Structure 1
Amino acid sequence: MDEKGTMGQGRPLPAPLPDLENYVVDFDGDDDPSHPYNWPFTVKIYTGVLVCSGTFITSLASAIFAPGSDSASKEFGVGAEVGKLGTTLYVLGFASGPVIWAPASELYGRKLPLAIALLAGGIFTIGSAVAKDIQTLLICRFFAGMCGASQLTVVPGVLADIYDNTRRGIAISLYALTVFVGPFSAPFIGGFLATSYLGWRWTLYIPAIVSLFAGALSVVFLRETYAPVLLMTKAAEMRRQTNIWGIHAKQERMEVNLGEMAKKYFTRPLTMLLTEPIILLVSLYMSFIYGLVYALLEAYPYVFENVYGMKPGISGLPFIGLIVGILLALAFILLEHGSYAKKLIANKGVPVPEWRLVPPLIGAPVFTIGIFW
């Protein structure tokens, strides 16, 4: 359409569609097999395994460099504190990435951000591995962390797309397992690699290779799970089949407006954080726990190497105790989920947030006791 509001060649605009809503595609009821809720169980399982494995890889990559940071510092002639920034900047990348990946997953679906981030994260990690100076290593670590944030941001959305309220809690619990087991596995894996003939660079090569492999698998095998984007695909197919070009999905009406995106993904969450006491307290608590995880990654090896005389790699084995604790917590959550499911059925499928508070009410004091043990 040109500036005069015509179709070109002097043709006027055609008449508007009589009722735009009649041209909007939707799913064929609650039991539509194309809706992710109704996918075969095997498809849901392999989708969950695929996205959670990506989460494990990026979580592992966040801390696997830590055991080799001292060797890298010596090679580049900088202080040990500077070398440890390789882990710090990766985690800062985790914090920065959601600003990109959250809106991308709602505009373009889940598959594209996950696959791109795994491939890009692998490339940046290779950049860290081949770095000739500390600046390159640290910059690449930051951007690798920013890419890794895609797994932490988008994967819960994937699981929410394919599982209803009855099973979603189980799926999210298994996802949370990969978030924490990854960094707790890193000290002994990275420690043995850094002290072997392979050297500290292989603490970066290995996660890079695995990340690229997982990204390739996502490109080939991961199915799109975001319902609005699936409806866009359905609408495009119907347009081709019928030549009725007014057929569309509601998602296609969305316009990329930077102001609205900033309001939705930055201003609004920040406002909720500052004005909702529950959100503020839970966020502070989870931030403390997550920060403590990475503090332990530096403290444990130091204590067990310098106080107890353990060798690198061996000094990371005490983290197995933390992994066992996480597995026990997962078992408790899965056992408690049965009672949650019964309440959900009795309440006609309407969830009540407070029903989820039983595990945290028990876990919070146990966590505190564990710190002082």
Structure 2
Amino acid sequence: TWAGDNDPVHPFNWSASRKWTNVVLISLQATLSPIASTILAIGANAIASDFHLTDAYTPALPTGLYVLGLGLGPLLLAPCSEIYGRRIVYLVSIAVFTVLNVGCALSPNITALSILRLASGVAGSVGPSLGAGSIGDMFRAEERGKAQSVYSFGPVMGPVLGGVMGGYIVDRTHGWAWLMWVIAIASGATVVVSIFLLRETYAPYLLSRNQRLEAGDIGVAPAKDLFSRAITRPIRLLFTSPICAFMSIYLSLIYGILYLHLITILLLFGPTELYGLYSYHWQNGNTGLAYLGAGIGSVIGMVITGKLMNRSFASGLARQERQTGSSVPTPELRLPFLQLGTFVVPVGLIVFAWSAGRTHWIVPLLGACIFGAGMLMAYVCIHTYLVDCFGRWSASALAAAVVTRCIITSAFCIIGFELYRKLGYDWGSMLLAFLCIAMIPVPFLLKKYGPRLR
């Protein structure tokens, strides 16, 4: 066991500088991976031209398969992090991610590119899947809000940055290969810095490494049995824990909508009209700037959650203590921000739906901004809630959420163009808004029944 509550080896007791150095490095990995997911979507036309593709679906495969890889990776990486520690999984994964992106840049055909993108998605999933658990390793429950909001900015803002960067890279280089070279260079630099500065945060692994683990704790069981249990834990949680299932479904919905929105931007703000849909005709790589609508909303959401979530948690804990006499924090204290976020998200979609192509371009971007703010609030709350609920096994719970999220997002990426071609901006976006409205009761039900379900 630990040598008291103030044991300096425990990540809870690290200095603020050490904790935030880890947060920054983890957030970098969690940002690079989503950037890589959308940066190539901007180059879909260049890919189609280089590989002589004529249909609408095949150029989208590298993006769709990459997002699918982001969902498959946590099934392996999260359990490994609970056995071998977080640090080694981060370092190996981001190094492999770098090599695979070099391979993507050199791909001779669409088949090679698609396979390498799937594999790079698996390796790149380490940041989005393990990051929230690593935050939980370092910060006590009442301190996690700010750190989680900073970390969550990456997975949400990353796709936006990918779109902005991709537009200018394609326009200046007249091809798609440099999109992958940029990711490879950035991830390679991250590997070098992480080797020297990234610290291990997983408490059971730290105890095991220092030979202070009590008999019967993690690390005593044979490695083969331990791994077989760990590798199936995310799926078991997804199908046996109602809390994990509900949160995974809602997170999948809003994250899938974000990617679908990014596809819509290519249609609404692209230089030419496609599928008979209206376009604002932004030229010279400026299409990617339209991603800043959701991006600015994400910044607003991050600021709100960073400043107010810990205060809300403390206020809720004080109220709980007055009402019940218990000062033990409960995960349900995280839910007020999620309740707010579930209302904000469909409002943004509705504004976008009925302004796209009908008004000045600033109005649909305002709708995207509202959506982005609500999404980040919900994203942070869901991740923090799962960490609070599942504690030591939080990486597996988050992996279950990421798997669900990325499978649905992958499907959205592939069918997005067809959805808007058939339904238009208005009813295509309204369909998504109706799905979000249907999910509004979930956090209220968890607030009431969560303790019983846990």
TM-score (norm 1): 0.84
Structure 2 residue matching 1:154: 3-state secondary structure = helix
Other-structure match for 2:312 = 339
Equivalent in 247, 269, 273 of residue 238 of structure 2: 273
- Answer whether contact 2:146 2:309 (CA < 8 A) is retained: no
Cα deviation for residue 257 of structure 1 reads 2.9
Paired AA for residue 43 in structure 2: G
Aligned pairs for 1:281-320 (under 5 A) are 281-305=246-270, 306=273, 307-311=279-283, 313-320=285-292
The unaligned stretches of length 5 or more in structure 2 are 274-278, 352-454
Q: Is 1:254 matched up with 2:221? A: yes
Q: Give the residue type in structure 1 aligned to 2:314.
A: A
Which residue in 2 is equivalent to 1:19? none
| 2:291 maps to amino acid | F
CA distance in 1, matches of 2:239, 2:197: 41
Residue of structure 2 equivalent to 1:54: 29
Paired residues of 1:119 and 1:216 also in contact (CA < 8 A) = no
After superposition, where does 1:343-362 map in structure 2 within 5 Å? 343-344=316-317, 347=321, 350-362=328-340
Q: Is the 8 A contact 2:28 2:154 kept in 1?
A: yes
Q: TM-score when scaled to structure 2?
A: 0.70
Write out per-residue CA displacement over residues 126-172 of structure 1, whole angstroms, 9 at most, x where no aligned residue: 10001111111111111110011111222122111111111112211
Would the aligned equivalents of 1:131 and 1:137 in 2 still touch at CA under 8 Å? yes
Distance 2:42 2:238 in 1: 35
Native 8 Å contact 2:94 2:123 kept in 1: yes
Alpha-carbon distance between aligned partners in 1 of 2:75 and 2:63, rounded to the nearest angstrom? 20
**Which residue number in structure 1 is paired with residue 79 of structure 2?**
103
Aligned residue runs from structure 1 range 139-178, under 5 A? 139-178=115-154
C-alpha spacing 1:28/1:135, structure 2 compared with 1 (3 Å): same
Q: State the distance in 2 between where 1:273 and 1:99 align.
A: 12
Q: For residues 242-284 of structure 1, what are the alpha-carbon distances to aligned partners after superposition, in whole Å with 9 as ceiling and x for unaligned? A: xxxx9999544132235x6455443x54454345544433322
CA distance in 1, matches of 2:216, 2:11: 17
Gap change, CA 1:47 and 1:269, over 3 Å in 2: closer
Q: 1:221 to 1:349 in 2, by over 3 A?
A: farther
CA distance in 2, matches of 1:116, 1:371: 39
CA distance in structure 1 between the partners assigned to 2:188 and 2:6 by the alignment: 36
Q: Distance in 2 between matches of 1:124 and 1:362?
A: 40
**Deviation of the 1:331 alpha carbon:** 2.4
In 2, are the aligned partners of 1:64 and 1:183 still within 8 Å (CA)?
A: yes
Specify whether residues 328 and 83 from structure 1 end up closer, same or farther in structure 2 by C-alpha distance, changes over 3 A only: same
- Structure 1 letter corresponding to 2:36: A
Deviation at 1:233, TM superposition (A): 2.9
SS at match of 2:281: coil
Q: Determine the structure 1 residue equivalent to 2:377.
A: none
* Ranges in structure 1 where 5+ consecutive residues have no aligned partner: 1-25, 237-245
| Corresponding position: 1:82 with 2:49 | no
Alignment correspondent of 1:209: 185
Q: Distance in 2 between matches of 1:312 and 1:361?
A: 41
Secondary structure at 2:201 match in 1: coil
2:170 aligns with 194
Q: How does 1:25-44 map to 2 (within 5 A)?
A: 26-44=1-19
Distance 1:51 1:249, change over 3 A: farther
Query: Residue 365 of structure 1 corresponds to which residue in structure 2?
Result: 343
Shift of 1:353: 2.3
> What letter is aligned with 2:254?
I
In structure 2, give the amino acid aligned to 1:309.
H
For 1:201 and 1:111, the matched residues in 2 are separated by: 31
How much identity, in percent, do the aligned residues show? 31
Separation of aligned partners in 2, 1:355 and 1:138: 43
Deviation at 1:78, TM superposition (A): 1.8
Q: Which residue of 1 aligns with 2:20?
A: 45
CA distance in 1, matches of 2:89, 2:31: 17
Cα deviation per residue 1:47-71 (whole Å; 9 max; x = unaligned)? 1111111111111111111111210
User: Match of 1:339, as an amino acid?
Assistant: S
Distance 1:264 1:211, change over 3 A: same
Amino acid at match of 2:269: F
Q: Which whole-Å deviations, capped at 9, do the CAs of 1:219-248 have from their partners, x for residues lacking one? A: 221111112222233239xxxxxxxxx999
CA contact 2:144–2:310 (8 Å) conserved in 1: no
For residues 233-244 of structure 1, the aligned pairs below 5 Å read 233-235=209-211
More helix per residue: 2
Structure 2 distance, partners of 1:232, 1:77, is: 55
Alignment coverage as a number of residue pairs = 337
Aligned residues of 1:114 and 1:150 also touching (Cα < 8 A): yes
